[in-house]
Copies of this chain bind each other. A is one copy, B any other.
Amino acid sequence: MLTTHPFEDDTLHEECGVFGVSGSDSAAALVALGLHALQHRGQEAAGISSFDGHHFHTHRAMGHVAGNFDRDDVIRALPGTSAVGHVRYSTTGETALRNVQPLYADLSTGGFAVAHNGNISNAMKLRRELVRRGSIFQSTSDTETIIHLVATSNYRTLLDRFIDALKQIEGAYSLVVMTPEGMIACRDPLGIRPLVMGKLDGAVIFASETVALDVCGATFERQVEPGELVIVQGTEVRSIRPFAPMAPRPCIFEWVYFSRPDSIAGDQSVYTVRKAIGAQLAIESPVEADYVIPVPDSGVPAAIGYAQESGIPFELGIIRSHYVGRTFIQPGDKVRHLGVKLKHNANRALIEGKRIILVDDSIVRGTTSLKIVQMMRDAGAAEVHMRIASPPTRHSCFYGVDTPERAKLLAAKHDVGGMTDFIHADSLSFVSIDGLYKALGEAKRADVRPKYCDACFTGDYPTTLTDHDDVAEVDQFAMLEERVN
């Protein structure tokens, strides 16, 4: 059953994971394994396309990889030695399945399957122009824009057409493309979204995170560099850099929250960085207390770092049910509220009468923090001090992360004092932006060309944002607020 409401989903933002295998007899099975390891990057839907030398095969499903792509019949229906896959967060409405990636099209150059992590920030403008010239879109996904640009390019070879398309798009994109001629992996010139490359018995593998290489037994070779196209044809691997070189700006939130702690992002252990942020937080914002308690599970490494630095014991004061997913990733405000109640329970026997430090990775709307502080008080906590392992999240992301509109971000509405009141904590501190860069091995955030995209904290967007006319205004507002702090 398909019900089409054209353009009902006018937001094209999502956070995703991609995985590609070229040159393995178990290509689709490896992709399934890799996507399972990337499940935290997108729980709403998943898809795999394979190429058997003659035909492309695609299977897409709403829901988790497990239950959909761990079935023999599904994997058998995806034959071939090349395959690409995608996990996706939050496709709403009944148009959902059309938006699930990999997207596929029959071009005059042959089949073309693409998996995309990121967001094209001029997709709307390009789309309007393409439709005017006669292109027909099947989905509301920004990724489809890339395909139509390739299809209608005046160049002759697929590679020239693809580069022609990339040069017209702006924003963040880590892409894995599968064609009859081979597999192409590429990252936008700023390298905003991650993409790594691995090897397994002669097969070449691309993945959003190294953890996906680990899980399928592959070795981590290197990152795909910002602005680089890696082309795999049979056993040959070539590299092309069609863009003018730019200082990279990888998304700093990968270390704060997105990536799994057992991943290596940009050559740094995510776990180690998170512990370092926690330690930095203990230095910047110490407080006397009985226990350091992580908000599970994402707050655990920073809490361990805080506990080790401060000497205050690390304890499990909040028990998380193992039968529900991560807090941040459930769509819909209502579900999120219900989720908090069911997912976390106070370890009352431990908490009662104690002064506790709660460590969490970030505050978005603040509703979760409010409930957790309340839960600690209900369990008898004498004092509740909240420590956040990132700076205040004040700005929307336009590079593929599903953030709420600015008006719903707690830090866009309140200074830290107001936020402390809102969540009813005895104290609240965030790590400083310079502290965050320190945990990543920098002396501080550079005023010009900082090493990361930290726009969600600073409003300093590294690209133009053609589809988002309101951003200038947003930035002003941000500046205003930041002066208040």
Interface residues of A (CB under 8 A from B): 1-8, 33, 36-37, 39-40, 43, 49, 55-61, 64-66, 68, 77, 97, 104-108, 111, 131-138, 147-148, 151-153, 211, 214-215, 260-262, 264, 269, 271-272, 297, 300-301, 304, 308, 313-316, 319, 321-326, 341-342, 345-350
Contacts and interface: CB of A to CB of B under 8 A. Distances in A.
A58 B147 CA distance: 25
A4 B65 CA distance: 19
Given A97-B2, A262-B347, A342-B215, A106 B7 contact: yes
Nearest to A325: B322
Contacts of A342: 33, 36-37, 66, 215
Given A2-B59, A322-B325, A350 B152 contact: no
21 contacts: A3-B57, A3-B58, A4-B57, A6-B104, A6-B106, A7-B106, A37-B342, A39-B321, A64-B323, A66-B323, A108-B131, A134-B135, A135-B135, A135-B151, A211-B319, A261-B319, A262-B345, A262-B348, A271-B316, A272-B349, A322-B326
A304 B269 CA distance: 23
Given A3-B57, A349-B264, A313 B323 contact: no
Given A211-B345, A261-B347, A60 B1 contact: yes
B345 A214 contact: yes
Residue from A2, A33, A56 having most chain B Cβ neighbours under 10 A: A2
Secondary structure class of chain A's binding surface, majority of residues = mixed
A5 B215 CA distance: 30
A151 B137 contact: no
Given A37-B321, A136-B151, A57 B5 contact: yes
Contacts of A214: 345-346, 348
A441 to B, nearest CB: 14
A32 to B, nearest CB: 10
Contacts of A49: 4
A324 B66 CA distance: 8
A231 to B, nearest CB: 23
Contacts of A319: 211, 260-262, 271
Q: Which of A5, A314, A316 has the largest number of chain B CB atoms within 10 A?
A: A316
B345 A316 contact: no
A37 B315 CA distance: 21
A43 B323 CA distance: 9
Given A37-B321, A57-B3, A58-B2, A148 B136 contact: yes
Contacts of A36: 321, 323, 342
A10 to B, nearest CB: 12
A6 B58 CA distance: 10
A111 B136 CA distance: 11
A341 B297 CA distance: 20
Nearest to A65: B323
Contacts of A39: 321, 323
Nearest to A323: B39
